Amino acid sequence: MNKHAKFATAPSIAYHEVPATLETVQWGAFDGSVAPVCTIASGDIVRIECLCHHAGDAPDYLMDDAIRAIYDGIPEDQRTPGVHILTGPIYVEGAEPGDTLECRVLSMEPRLNYGVNFQGRWGLLDKEFDSQEHVIVYEADVKKGTAKALFQFPYDSPPERGIPGRYTKVPTSERKPALDGIVVPLRLHFGTAGVCPPSDEPISTVPPGVHGGNVDNREFVAGTSMFYPVHKKGALFWAGDTHFAEGDGEVNGTAIEAHVNATIQLVLHKGTRSKNPILETPDLWICHGFSEDLDEATKEAVLEMIALLGREWGLSREEAYSLCSIAGDLRVTQVVDGVKGAHMAIRRDLKRG
pLDDT digits (tens, 9 = 90+) for 75-125: 999 999 999 999 999 999 999 999 999 999 999 999 999 999 999 999 999
Cα–Cα dist 260/258, whole Å: 6
For the segment 146-182, what is each residue's pLDDT rounded down to a tens digit? 999 999 999 987 766 678 999 998 888 899 999 999 9
Mean pLDDT of the chain: 95
Is residue 193 in a domain? yes
Pair (219, 333) in one structural domain: no
Is residue 276 in a domain? no
DSSP strand pairing (257-269 vs 38-40): unpaired
Is residue 175 in a domain? yes
Is residue 277 in a domain? no
pLDDT (average), residues 14-42: 97
Cα–Cα dist 32/237, whole Å: 10
102 φ, ψ to 5°? -100, 130
Pair (155, 304) in one structural domain: no
What are residue 13's DSSP bridge partners? 10
pLDDT (average), residues 216-244: 98
Cα–Cα dist 146/160, whole Å: 36
Does pTM surpass 0.75? yes
Of 146, 210, 222, 235, nearest in space to 182 by CA: 146
Pair (117, 260) in one structural domain: yes
Pair (178, 325) in one structural domain: no
pLDDT of residue 159: 67
Cα–Cα dist 74/123, whole Å: 26
Pair (78, 203) in one structural domain: yes
- Judged against a pLDDT cut of 70, whether residue 337 lies above it is answered with yes
Pair (168, 54) in one structural domain: yes
pLDDT (average), residues 184-202: 97
pLDDT of residue 8: 35
pLDDT (average), residues 5-21: 74
What's 308's domain CATH number? 3.10.28.20
pLDDT more than 70, % of the chain = 96
- Judged against a pLDDT cut of 50, whether residue 7 lies above it is answered with no
Is residue 93 in a domain? yes
Pair (180, 240) in one structural domain: yes
Is residue 126 in a domain? yes
Of 108, 45, 47, 104, nearest in space to 280 by CA: 104
Is residue 353 in a domain? no
What's 64's domain CATH number? 2.60.120.580
pLDDT of residue 10: 45
Pair (50, 184) in one structural domain: yes
Q: How confident is the model at residue 347 (pLDDT cuts 50, 70, 90)?
A: very high
Boundaries of domain holding 317 = 283-347
pLDDT (average), residues 217-240: 98
Total domains in the fold of the chain: 2
- Number of other CB atoms surrounding residue 325 within 10 Å: 10
pLDDT (average), residues 184-203: 97
Is residue 232 in a domain? yes
pLDDT of residue 161: 63
Pair (122, 238) in one structural domain: yes
For the segment 243-295, what is each residue's pLDDT rounded down to a tens digit? 999 999 999 999 999 999 999 999 999 999 899 999 999 999 999 999 999 99
- Judged against a pLDDT cut of 70, whether residue 4 lies above it is answered with no
Q: How confident is the model at residue 12 (pLDDT cuts 50, 70, 90)?
A: confident
Secondary structure (H, E, C), the chain: CCCCEEEEEECCEEEEEECCCCCCEEECEECCCCCCCEEECCCCEEEEEECCCCHHHCHHHHCCHHHHHHHHHCCHHHCCCCCCEEEEEEEECCCCCCCEEEEEEEEEEEEEEEEEEEECCCCCCCHHHCCCEEEEEEEEECCCCEEEEEEEEEECCCCCCCCCCCCCCCCHHHCECCCCCCCEECCCEEEEEECCCCCCCCEECCCEECCEECCCCCCCCCCCEEEEECCCCCCCEEEEEEECCCCCECCCCCCCEEEEEEEEEEEEECCCCCCCCEEECCCEEEEEEEECCHHHHHHHHHHHHHHHHHHHHCCCHHHHHHHHHHHCEEEEEECCCCCEEEEEEEECCCCCC
